[in-house]
Amino acid sequence: MKQYLIKNSGYAVRYQALPGVEPPLVFLHGLGCASSFEYCAVMAQPALLGRRALLIDLLGAGYSDQPRDFGYTVEEHAAYLNDMLRSLDLQQIVLFGHSLGGAVAICLAGLLQERLFSLILTESNLDPSHGRAVSHKIGTQSSEVFLSHGYTDLLTLAQKRNPLWGAALAHWLPQAVWRISRSAIQGGSPSWREQLYDLAKPKAYLFGERTLPSTDVDALREHGVRVEIIPNAGHSMALENPAALASTIAAIIHDCPGAR
């Protein structure tokens, strides 16, 4: 485990650094998750074994610091990650973002500019959160209600119905859960969907087979986004089928111009 100290604040973002061949693969997890929890099994698969990778726990989650005075918006996460990856002098980054971490990855991709090699998203937020989305259920509560009992209720339910997600969620700062959920409801400006469509780099979007059907399959392809389906998996594909996810990531990297 390594750490990066955010400029001005000194808060520590912690990450697993796996040595290997370039280009480096950088993982960003979703709401209630942690890269240190989800992506070790993915990187251990034969398809990705020996690839350089960073498994980053976002501020407020996993092993990273959990300051109560940080804003935790999607854009604020992207800003310190841009500083971090530049300070590490990473070049030609393959950026991976899952769910709400995908929105962070989209914003970060625009900041990285020439350092970005390609963007891979797994069921990323593209539009403002709504309906049955977990972030919408969290963010439509007041801060006072969520912090007084909403987080505890959510954690109890998660530990019963989805214990692996519940295990990771237990290591989140409640304020971080609520603030990034509010950011998900507000959406990006321009929208994360528009930012993705405008990105002039190779880009891919992965669905779990159990999530389909989705109208976004055709919409994404029409805008130049490669779409792949992970079999025998739903939203939590890194946990449900890490071998297929690893093989798909490896194939996407291999097919990008200039890949090694």
The domain ranges of the chain are: 2-130+189-255
Each residue's pLDDT expressed in tens, for the chain with a length of 260 residues: 999 999 989 999 999 999 999 999 999 999 999 999 999 999 999 999 999 999 999 999 999 999 999 999 999 999 999 999 999 999 999 999 999 999 999 999 999 999 999 999 999 999 999 988 999 999 999 999 999 999 999 999 999 999 999 999 999 999 999 999 999 999 999 999 999 999 999 999 999 999 999 999 999 999 999 999 999 999 999 999 999 999 999 999 999 887 66
d(CA 212, CA 215): 9
- In three-state secondary structure terms, 187 is coil
pTM, entire model: 0.97
* Residues 6 or more apart whose Cβ sits within 8 Å of residue 72: 59, 60, 175, 176, 179, 180, 183
Q: For helices 174-186 and 100-112, give the axis angle rounded to 10 degrees.
A: 70
- In three-state secondary structure terms, 171 is coil
What number does CATH give the domain 2-130+189-255?
A: 3.40.50.1820
Task: Check if the beta carbon of residue 87 is closer than 8 Å to that of residue 13.
Answer: no
- In three-state secondary structure terms, 251 is helix
**Residue 5, strand partner residues:** 12
Tell me how far apart the 2 most distant CA atoms of the chain are, in Å. Answer: 52
Task: Determine if the peptide bond prior to 190 is cis (ω within 30°).
Answer: yes
Nearest residue to 249 (alpha-carbon basis) of 116, 33, 61, 53? 53
